Amino acid sequence: MKFLVFLGTVRDSTPPSPPRLGARVAKSCLECLASRHDEHEAELVDALDYPLEPVFKPHFAYPRSKAPSGLNELADRIASADGFVMISPEYNHSMSPALANLLNHFGSSLFAYKPSAIVTYSAGQWGGMRAAIGMRTFLSELGCLPVSAMIHVPRAQDVFDEDGSPLDGVDGQAWFNYFGRTFKQLFWWAQAAGAHRARVDPHKVVRDFTRDPSERNAP
């Protein structure tokens, strides 16, 4: 199975220091996925690699042939994935606006009927928990329902170095065990959903929006 690991920080500046703390968390997640679960593929989607127009024009608002190539490429990657790991810092007790903006560029039909895992982090003591609560709602609306176990990394700068390796004195095994609980839930749901999608096409059972979300309104 294939999983996309979204890294939702585009902050490459200081203060506060260090910049792009999330890169450490993402590298560690990818390392855990590769070392423990090598039957699955995990690819990074770094929000920094997808510079977006200041005027919001989502992928689904373009005819396919006119859409920016980066958006077409990411839409194809999302469509072919079996599940998602969504990594976000906490900014003002909310998920990263860069992650929300990137995800908002794609219709829920690309994400739907596949599970997701929430990973948050912060430089402070709460590990992004408040952002994580909002992410449950956001990801549920996208249709990639989050698994129950979440990963929170408080004071991430004291846990992982720039390569995503545990710093001296940090019990890396304990962190991988903690990550593993969430990833195992993700794999279980991804396998179950994938097997059922192969038998019953959900997009034939529940029609995707073709014009706008009012199509689901109560009569």
List of residues contacting ligand FMN (CB under 6 A): 9, 11, 16, 19-22, 89-93, 122-124, 126
Looking up tokens 């179950």, which residue turns up? Answer: 192
Position 168: which residue type?
Answer: D
CB of 87 to ligand FMN, least distance (A): 9
Least distance from C-beta 64 to ligand FMN, angstroms? 33
Query: 117-142: buried (b, 16+ CB within 10 Å) or exposed (e) per residue?
Result: bbbbbbbeebbbebbbebbeebbeeb
Instruction: Rank residues 24 and 40 by Cβ distance to ligand FMN and give the closer one.
Output: 24
CB closer to ligand FMN, 95 vs 144: 95
Gap between the Cα atoms of 30 and 138, Å rounded: 23
Nearest approach, Cβ of residue 21 and ligand FMN (Å)? 3
C-beta closer to ligand FMN: residue 36 or 130: 130
Please, what is the minimum distance in Å from the beta carbon of residue 56 to ligand FMN?
20
DSSP per position, 104-155: HTS-HHHHTTS-EEEEEE-SSTTTTHHHHHHHHHHHHHHT-PBPS--EEETT
- CB-based burial, 171-200: b 16+ in 10 Å, e otherwise: eeeebbeebbebbebbbebbeebeeeeeee
Quick one: how many helices (H) and strands (E) in the chain? Answer: 7, 6
Q: Which is nearer to ligand FMN, 125 or 173 (CB)?
A: 125
**Smallest distance, ligand FMN to C-beta of residue 200, A:** 39
Residue among 155 and 184 whose Cβ is closer to ligand FMN: 155
